[in-house]
Amino acid sequence: MARTAGTETPRERYRAQVRAEVKERAWGQIAAAGASALSLNAIARQMGMSGPALYRYFGSRDELITELIRDAYRSLADAVRAADGDVASLAHALRAWALADPHRYFLLYGTPVPGYHAPDDITAIASEIMARLLDAFAALPGGDAETPFDAHLAEHREWADGHPAPPPALRRALAFWTRLHGALSLELAGHFAGMGFDPALLFAAELESLGD
């Protein structure tokens, strides 16, 4: 008989639970020493299993990492969705999310792994985050000064995926992304260490700059 949707066999429940525990330990390793230090072998040891056992649950190390990237994007999308909706709250949600686990941020926005290409469902989540950004900037009044770059964006707005935001909003959403990422990633990578100023104030100043 066909199982009702939502019902799970004990096997499926167990499998899902093991996969969840593997991912949890993987996040622990990533938080501790970065994604490059992630080892299926070490996770298996922690769980009292032998190495190859994990390959029943994840076809490869890359498959596990892809899953983690997917989860990270989902987590970021949730954080962004939970924010109030205005630009400032989105920015602070982003920064809080990044500071909560810097290695997770770098998993999404850090050095790319050479061969890797994100599956479609991941880019879909990323563009949902972008849509939220566009919402916020489209809701903002004023700013109809069209720069040359605005004109370029008006002709290449595929990435906005049909969003009706006017060109200045497109430009500002992009700048939100690149400027805040610039400040955040350098802070998280430790490049401001020992420079004396407060990274939070730099971040705030860059956020302020988005109203130009």
Q: Which residues bind DNA (CB under 7 A)?
A: 1, 9-11, 14-15, 18, 38-42, 45, 48-53, 55-57, 59-62
120-139 and 167-188 are packed helices; what angle lies between their axes, rounded to 10 degrees?
120
| DSSP codes, 132-164 | HHHHHHHHS-------HHHHHHHH--GGGTT--
* Spatial separation of the C-alpha atoms in residues 35 and 21, rounded to whole Å: 17
Q: Which of residues 82-141 bind a copy of itself (CB under 8 A)?
A: 106, 109-115
CB of 61 to a copy of itself, least distance (A): 13
* Spatial separation of the C-alpha atoms in residues 115 and 117, rounded to whole Å: 7
- Tell me which of DNA, a copy of itself, none is bound by residue 17, counting a contact when its beta carbon lies within the kind-specific cut-off of 5 to 8 angstroms: none
- Tell me which of a copy of itself, DNA, none is bound by residue 61, counting a contact when its beta carbon lies within the kind-specific cut-off of 5 to 8 angstroms: DNA
* Residue 191 interacts with a copy of itself (CB under 8 A): yes or no: yes
* Spatial separation of the C-alpha atoms in residues 173 and 159, rounded to whole Å: 12
Identify which of residues 52 and 182 has a Cβ nearer to DNA in the complex.
Answer: 52
> Is 190 within 8 Å of 147 (Cβ atoms)?
no
Per CB under 8 A, residues contacting a copy of itself are 32-37, 106, 109-115, 147-149, 152-153, 156-159, 171, 174-175, 177-183, 185-186, 189-191, 194-198, 201-202, 204-206, 208-209, 212
